[in-house]
Amino acid sequence: MYAPKGLELHTFSGTDVTVVAAPWYNLVLSGQHLIYDNNISYIVINTTTESVVTAMTSELILTTLFSPVNIIILILLALAVSWLVNLRFQNNHEKYAIKMLNTKAIELLNSLNLATDSDLTKHTQLDQLQNNFQTLTTHITNYTRESEVSIYQDKLTHLIDRHAYIEHLAKQLRLAEMDKFSCALLFIDLDGFKQVNDSFGHSFGDDVLIQVATRLSSVLRHHKISNISPISQLEQNLARLGGDEFSIFINLKDDKEKALEVAQNVLHEIERDFVLGNKLIKISASIGIAVYPDSASTPQALLQMADVAMYRAKTDGRGIFKVYSPEMGKKIRRYHYLLEEMRLAIASSSFHLSFQPIVHVDDCAIDYFEALVRWDHPVEGSITPDEFIPIAEESNLILELGDWIMLESCRQMSAWYNAGMKKVSISVNISGVQLKHYDIYEWVMEKLAKTGLPAKALMLEITESTLIKASNKIIQSLEKLRGEGITIAIDDFGTGFSSLSTLADLPIDVIKLDKLFVAQANDNLKYNEIMHSVSELGRKLGLKVVAEGVEELAQFELVKSMGINSVQGYLVSHPESSVNVGHKVLQDNINFMSVTGTGVWNIQQPL
């Protein structure tokens, strides 16, 4: 055997050797010869015939064990043991953590009233935890969906609402920008929906809206333009914006014409009969289309442009669609500008009236004056009523403005009346919006009372298109006004498509033939014939007929030859300021007036 360096050797003679029971390390040293002396064991290193060379076993083992190589092995061994111990500890720790998590998960599930997996007999803690987590995840997904639905869904139609739609549009426009494709937005507004509500009640109107939503959803499916949210399961390309307004979003990646096809189909679907209970109604829709990126590039701007185009579709006849163009934008900006300016002008009393005489064809004696509103804008100059009256009507500003016009007209006429114009009346244009909002009888009578103007000195001009749509209540109020002595004229007659026979049923005293007829009568036989028959019918029904827009002598002669009673037009006079009217009528005709109660309007051109 080899003895390590530095180990003390012991030599025994052959007779000294005794054998004792092997101690524990004999296991390690199996196969080695051992000698015991005084209970100390020695390991045989070399044996000769006379002696045995040994080393103390314990020393040999220690020296061998603590050699540098063995120390490293020992350290590694110690590390391995400690790792194993640690691993076992860690395993226990993990088990504990899983158990804790599971307890928490079960607590959470219980608090949410959800079924838990706590059957220890069937599953390990880990399996249970996995199952419980699965239940929680499903619950969270459902909860997210339900809350998205409750936040974003329109309660009536179950479509998404404007808010959700705008969020969806923002995402879609980002995609379109990245992938460089265009999209279109349809702004759909039902025509005459207000009448449906007014005539049949709101719950009937609600049912119509629900059916409209269903029809629009089917249009999306038909054109394969659906986009269902994976979370809420809601259709995202179709929204109810509010009231009777809906919108559809279309990706034009594959087909540029798609928006037009969809719009056409929507019009068609809405025009189909709506059957509700035992009622059948017909409605239509007007659609505006805006295209990304041509028309606008943000959701709000796109909606606004489509709204502008929809508005154009409405004014161009309803039941049609229009694609937005910048020219429409200009119009809408002008609209908003004038609306704001008009508000200021009303507040600062910047409007004034001008008066146009209507004269008898026989002697040019003044029949009445038409009060016409004027607006001299500080920057724009004179803005025509043809431009601002429709805006005032649409925004209901006509209520405030019309109130002032009526009061000022009555006040002016009352002054003229008191100055001698006892046979002259003032005629005031009344808009359909005013008829709907006021009790026209009360409103007019109040103005007369305020200004002291006799009822017979007041005429109301209501256009044919307004009169034929007027409700029974309005017609009754007008009748009552006539009963008081107020005259009612049907204005712009011939443009409202009413049949001549309806004239007999309307509460009117005067027919004002639209200037269109006078302008055409000398060249177009048909217009000439219509004028003839209106004049004849007027005579038969005891109505006075007035021809508007007489600019030339030939027109005056023609009108006169037809038996039309009175004329209005530039030939006689342009609308004049109250000061000029005062000069011309009161100062120049004072004697004539005192006899007749009216004046003669001096016409510049010889008749």
Which residues contribute to the site for ligand C2E (CB under 6 A)? 356, 371-373, 384-386, 389, 405, 429, 431, 461, 491-492, 515, 549-551, 568-570, 575
| Residue 405 touches which member of ligand C2E, Ca ion, none, C-beta under 5-8 Å by kind | ligand C2E
Residue 131: HSE in the Cβ half-sphere, 13 Å Cα cutoff: 16
Q: How far apart are the first and last CA of the chain?
A: 158
Which residue, 306 or 373, has its beta carbon nearer to ligand C2E? 373
Nearer to ligand C2E, 568 or 598 (CB): 568
Which one of ligand C2E, Ca ion, none interacts with residue 575, CB within 5 to 8 A by kind?
Answer: ligand C2E
- The vertex-447 CA angle with 445 and 453, nearest 5°, equals 90
244 binds, among ligand C2E, Ca ion, none (CB under 5 to 8 A by kind): none
Query: In the complex, what is the shortest distance from the CB of residue 440 to ligand C2E, in angstroms, rounded to a whole number?
Result: 13
451 touches, from Ca ion, ligand C2E, none (C-beta below 5 to 8 Å by class): none
Binding to Ca ion (CB under 5 A): which residues in 292-321? none
Pairing between strand 238-242 and 160-161? parallel
For residue 3, which phi and psi values (nearest 5 degrees)? -100, 130
Cβ atoms within 10 Å, residue 514? 18
569 binds, among Ca ion, ligand C2E, none (CB under 5 to 8 A by kind): ligand C2E
Say how far apart CA 544 and CA 277 lie, in whole Å. 48
Residue among 189, 191, 464, 492 that touches Ca ion (CB under 5 A): 492
Query: Which CB, 245 or 492, lies closer to Ca ion?
Result: 492
Looking at beta carbons only, is 149 or 383 nearer to ligand C2E?
Answer: 383
Residue 361 vs 489, nearer CB to Ca ion: 489
- Nearer Cβ to ligand C2E, position 29 or 383? 383
The phi, psi pair for 239, rounded to 5°, reads -140, 155
Q: How far apart are CA 5 and CA 151, in angstroms?
A: 88
Rounded-to-integer distance, Cα 80 and Cα 154, Å:
67
CB of 553 to Ca ion, least distance (A): 21
Cα–Cα dist 420/400, whole Å: 31
The binder of 299, among Ca ion, ligand C2E, none, by C-beta within 5 to 8 A per type, is: none
425 scored as a contact of Ca ion (CB under 5 A): no
Q: Strands 510-513, 544-547: parallel, antiparallel or unpaired by DSSP?
A: parallel
Residues in 443-462 that interact with Ca ion by CB under 5 A: 461
Nearest-angstrom CA–CA distance, 504 and 562 = 20
Burial 314-333 (b: 16+ CB within 10 A, else e): beeeebbbbbbeeebbeebe
Nearer to Ca ion, 291 or 361 (CB): 361
Site residues (vs Ca ion, CB under 5 A): 429, 461, 491-492
